[in-house]
Structure 1
């Protein structure tokens, strides 16, 4: 550390914002350099003993309605009406940005997703099929798209139904990444972030835990395949109509002017169509017409003629008649990229940046509007309706009613990602408890499978059985997961795991990004790589890792509940290096890196530095000092860096 220079310590407590406090022995120095920035800190909450999962009281500090004069009442009504209109508008933009985000992911990784499905040798491995389902759904940001690819492959005979079941399970996991991303965008407030991230990841834990139980059971016995096969064979199911796509009807007027995609290209790549490999996903012609004509063609000999077709010999050549279909382009699309002449990757990256910007903006504005609207009696009524159970002895029915609501809403909008992403901000601000969000999410899982079943019933007769069986496998998988992790309160493990993760990410906010990267990208990619290397490699690496993970989990549980049964060396993890059993050392490094980068940016812009100091002077929990050097003190050790 620089001798004689004032030091600043980063506090790891409080609101988990980077906190810099001046050392007491330098507090009396009269003048310090004016160019050194410091960061904001917040005091520890006064109510440290309060449960952070308690829903907050959104109090209305304004003037009561009875105390307003006529002009005030008219202004309040107009203000409330304007806020409601703005909320609906921002919600519409939020849903549209999710649609564009899905399109951007398909442009960036859609063809790669189609190529992943082409290796049938890998798909025959159930573990590889599972992680492929996760990766493809994350790449295209749509479980409906990945499921339709699987159905297309099964219908064309390229993939067996039994091999497709793990892929459907993976698609169920991958679709939960959207609302987890939405939760990350609420990281501005510690407690809101805690609740929002837990409300989003309860979906992740439900899917992963269901897979951990049901995938080995399916591999060993094939119960999902056999059960759905029995249902298909037992009922004379007729071809039905397409499922209503209300969400598309609502969002299409805006999104079709931004981008339109030909999703059949991804299915064509997966099914081995050579013409689809070099075809762009961006739709250029939105209205086409196919005309089939009977034309004369030559064949090598009479033996090559189709039995039912006319065949003759003329001028020493064998001729026959054959139907040929030509496609005529009638009308171009109207979206903004129709004349761009850009590659799919460039358009995808542009849309990805714009959609994420729109998503963040809409989410921030929605949360602020909800904060201003859900106060006083309005908040009391809404929270009572959403979070109150039925009276005894029918309280257990409340969760199942929430499942029906979640399934119905998802059926209406035809997207579980949209529904779960919409309730995530409500969980964050405390309108919906995580205990109520859990059955709503489970119902959403069921709702998205019922729409797939209706869509499968619209398939042609020759492919109806296979496509419907895959959809039923998805449905039965979610029903079995609900039976495992909901009816008995003690089995609602996903809620406890999500709360534990919410507490961890509220304390170390960077851990949320690490969780997303590990859970939805790195882990599936590693498992896929081991699967491609062969099942011997997968077993040789995977079994020791699983055994170690189970050992750590068991020891952690015993440390919390039955410490006396453990040997003395395992009663704590202190014998390991601290980075192996604590996030504090990592948090120190991340905090230091972020502070250093922020400091450099502020040095480049004097106005940024002045604005930051003005904000801190308004915060009464801070003492502001200009400091040319940054020191970090943690557990008696002092770390220093020059700014």
Structure 2
């Protein structure tokens, strides 16, 4: 803004009042109305100084237009609205008091006592800078209408709160250019010798009629917003599904080969890492679990060996939401909350695996649950005629093992749903199936699976990011508006009376049902992240939705299990149920037991704070958790099952020991030996990210993420309210049907 500082803002309220007490009451009511939506504000009160003079003693607003000229100067004829410029100037009172009258008059260009224009005024004077130049003299298009008052105290700071209206922002640009010397003549306004601008903002005031029309038709805009949100959400979910399919086309065969590689899968820990890596590559736990179910059905692996892979699949499915959370990096506070909400899924899955994997390896706990549950329904499952379901769910050419390419060229005439399967047990030689050319975008494109997958990847990523930004923008506009209190009440509603403890379980059930309908936990959790970003959902509520989503996503594996045929079909159902019982066991451990909820939630909240402090951390976390660590474990696993078992025990014991020490350091430090009351006895790099942060900054400078966070205005609402009182002795008329008001004896400016 012409080298004049700009603090930004969202709303500017200009009101008039007869007395300062009424002015104060009005400002107070406005602040209380907006308090739920803002975090801080400042108020600056103006006053009339010897009539209409500035603190420097000179008359303010001498060149203001009069009577009918006001509307011509301040109102845009095309829109009926007014553009407004607000500035806060701090005067150097010591300079004003010590400078001679002659010097001050030369600076202003007028006499102090009688307000007469100097005949031989300096080219640097305020009057010469504001009323000279070819642009100003050409039919006077660059005039403004001022509404300014002094403010402040002698003990703190004092100056002028400048308010001006015009029919175009060009008028303000001209004034500011002349003020700071941007017109090419090298001259600047000597007013800046004793006053400096500390804030400056542009605003627009629409016609009152326009505002009334907007209010009258607000339900139309609300319906349009809802339709647009639902449309964006639809395309967002579709884009995530395309993202999953693109990774499937690129890496499904590789993942299948890894799942069947007995050299790699020598220990339970390696199987967990394979499941994690496979799901991270495919971007779909549904595809991964369907592959595992089909492997069990075909006899490639047994149920006990498949359980650790399913655990790893459960951990890997959260990579999508973690990736999506990185999109919102333009505000540190919102980014921290979003990253914590995304990683609470990771933390729950990780701590559940750390507890259940050793238990499963020692006691086959999940397998015993399956036998108990399975025995109740075994008769129905054996006698169930799955032919119709198989034909409607599993297409004949969906087997990764039997087809030369994954992209379907010919489709059966009757087809509803296609699940990926690697089973080689299909015998279709006796079936007569009528095929027709498939009707999809790549049916007639002679590209490889990898080529088509790459194109889909680029398309889906662009669509996901675009839809996410659109959703966040619309949700911000709606949830921070007049609907915000109602929406927050709905979100925070609890079951009545003694049934309030059931609220969380209903939220879990809601997450499970929606995820089962969407057939994608990643899509559901990713769609919830914008609500966390803008403060509608808190981390605790997001945790409950995540638990429900984990249960809902197991429906995919159960459907895949029922589509299998052959002797091992019952085993396929068992492994699908293992997926379900794994998540139910995690809910029992880390939700039904109340104090245990603090573990995954606290870990996620810590990750969010770390992401705010170190902007590079989320990228490192993503790479380490879903690539470097599992890949390293698999490489080390080449040494044999014994080594991997020892490594797994060391990792588990280290995690439990560190967790115990951290809890005791917080809860009961007096019972700890002095050396263990903090981690300072260790080298700094072992308990702090500061050394790595210094290394990264010294190598790359300030990261791109940090620059983005530092330079982008906060999403916290900043609202500027200027309330201007009107003196009864003032002769300047107000402009009809517009927000420009007459001058006043008092004003207040509040910044939120």
Q: Taking structure 2 as the reference length, what is the TM-score of the superposition?
A: 0.60
What is the aligned partner in structure 1 of residue 358 from structure 2? 216
What is the aligned partner in structure 1 of residue 408 from structure 2? 283
Q: CA deviation at 1:431?
A: 1.0
The structure with the greater share of residues assigned to helix is 1
- Asked if 1:195 is matched to 2:337, the reply is yes
Match of 1:173 among 315, 321, 334: 315
Secondary structure of the residue that 2:483 maps to in structure 1? helix
- Asked if 1:502 is matched to 2:502, the reply is no
1:347-396 deviations in Å (ceiling 9; x for gaps): 32332233222211111111011011113442112222122322442221
Instruction: Call closer, same or farther: CA 1:338–1:450 in 2, change over 3 Å.
Output: closer
Secondary structure of the residue that 1:187 maps to in structure 2? coil
Quick check: 1:240–1:454 contact (8 Å CA) kept in 2? no
Secondary structure of the residue that 1:73 maps to in structure 2? helix
Structure with greater Cα Rg? 2
Match of 2:627 among 510, 515, 521: 521
Match of 1:364 among 464, 469, 477: 469
Q: CA deviation at 1:490?
A: 0.8
Distance 2:211 2:530 in 1: 34
Instruction: Call closer, same or farther: CA 1:444–1:597 in 2, change over 3 Å.
Output: closer
Q: CA deviation at 1:340?
A: 3.8
What is the aligned partner in structure 2 of residue 584 from structure 1? 690
Quick check: 1:183–1:424 contact (8 Å CA) kept in 2? yes
Distance 1:389 1:523 in 2: 41
Instruction: Call closer, same or farther: CA 1:328–1:444 in 2, change over 3 Å.
Output: closer
Distance 2:688 2:712 in 1: 35
Q: What are structure 2's unaligned runs of at least 5 residues? A: 9-34, 39-202, 415-426, 719-752
Q: What are structure 1's unaligned runs of at least 5 residues? A: 1-33, 35-39, 43-55, 250-260, 269-274, 290-321, 603-611, 621-643
Quick check: 2:258–2:264 contact (8 Å CA) kept in 1? no
What is the aligned partner in structure 2 of residue 264 from structure 1? 398
Q: CA deviation at 1:457?
A: 3.4
Match of 2:253 among 92, 102, 111: 111
Instruction: Call closer, same or farther: CA 1:573–1:228 in 2, change over 3 Å.
Output: closer
1:411-453 deviations in Å (ceiling 9; x for gaps): 2222222111111211121111111121221111122224533
Distance 2:352 2:387 in 1: 30
Quick check: 1:243–1:451 contact (8 Å CA) kept in 2? no
What is the aligned partner in structure 1 of residue 558 from structure 2? 453
1:610-633 deviations in Å (ceiling 9; x for gaps): xx99999xxx9xxxxxxxxxxxxx
Q: CA deviation at 1:116?
A: 0.4
Q: CA deviation at 1:499?
A: 1.0
Q: CA deviation at 1:533?
A: 2.3
Q: CA deviation at 1:400?
A: 0.7
Distance 2:307 2:676 in 1: 41
Distance 1:69 1:557 in 2: 56
Quick check: 1:402–1:440 contact (8 Å CA) kept in 2? yes
- Structure 1 window deviating more from structure 2 (431-440 vs 568-577): it is 568-577
Quick check: 1:240–1:457 contact (8 Å CA) kept in 2? no
Instruction: Call closer, same or farther: CA 1:68–1:463 in 2, change over 3 Å.
Output: farther
Q: Taking structure 1 as the reference length, what is the TM-score of the superposition?
A: 0.69
Instruction: Call closer, same or farther: CA 1:264–1:69 in 2, change over 3 Å.
Output: closer
Match of 1:77 among 215, 219, 225: 219
Q: CA deviation at 1:148?
A: 1.3
Q: CA deviation at 1:113?
A: 0.3
Quick check: 2:615–2:703 contact (8 Å CA) kept in 1? no
- Structure 1 window deviating more from structure 2 (154-163 vs 552-561): it is 552-561
Secondary structure of the residue that 2:592 maps to in structure 1? coil
What is the aligned partner in structure 2 of residue 471 from structure 1? 576
Distance 1:387 1:368 in 2: 22
Distance 1:488 1:597 in 2: 41
Distance 1:394 1:377 in 2: 31
Quick check: 1:137–1:174 contact (8 Å CA) kept in 2? yes
Distance 1:562 1:331 in 2: 71
Query: In angstroms, what is the RMSD of aligned CA positions?
Result: 4.0
Quick check: 2:511–2:549 contact (8 Å CA) kept in 1? yes
Quick check: 1:107–1:347 contact (8 Å CA) kept in 2? yes
Quick check: 1:262–1:282 contact (8 Å CA) kept in 2? no
- Asked if 1:131 is matched to 2:273, the reply is yes
Distance 1:94 1:186 in 2: 15
Q: CA deviation at 1:569?
A: 4.3
Structure-to-structure mapping, 1:616-627, within 5 angstroms: none
Match of 2:437 among 332, 338, 348: 332
Quick check: 1:135–1:521 contact (8 Å CA) kept in 2? yes
Instruction: Call closer, same or farther: CA 1:583–1:613 in 2, change over 3 Å.
Output: closer
1:75-127 deviations in Å (ceiling 9; x for gaps): 43333232222212211221111011101111222111011012235435222
- Asked if 1:538 is matched to 2:644, the reply is yes
Match of 1:389 among 486, 494, 500: 494
Structure-to-structure mapping, 1:309-458, within 5 angstroms: 330-458=435-563
Quick check: 1:93–1:362 contact (8 Å CA) kept in 2? yes
Instruction: Call closer, same or farther: CA 1:557–1:67 in 2, change over 3 Å.
Output: farther
Distance 1:168 1:598 in 2: 37
Instruction: Call closer, same or farther: CA 1:286–1:62 in 2, change over 3 Å.
Output: farther
- Structure 1 window deviating more from structure 2 (540-549 vs 208-217): it is 540-549
What is the aligned partner in structure 1 of residue 380 from structure 2? 237
Secondary structure of the residue that 2:526 maps to in structure 1? helix
Q: CA deviation at 1:280?
A: 2.1
Instruction: Call closer, same or farther: CA 1:75–1:529 in 2, change over 3 Å.
Output: same
Distance 2:271 2:697 in 1: 38
Secondary structure of the residue that 1:264 maps to in structure 2? coil
What is the aligned partner in structure 2 of residue 93 from structure 1? 235
Secondary structure of the residue that 1:389 maps to in structure 2? coil
What is the aligned partner in structure 2 of residue 225 from structure 1? 367
1:553-574 deviations in Å (ceiling 9; x for gaps): 4443443344444444444444
What is the aligned partner in structure 2 of residue 158 from structure 1? 300
Distance 1:463 1:379 in 2: 54
Distance 2:399 2:309 in 1: 20
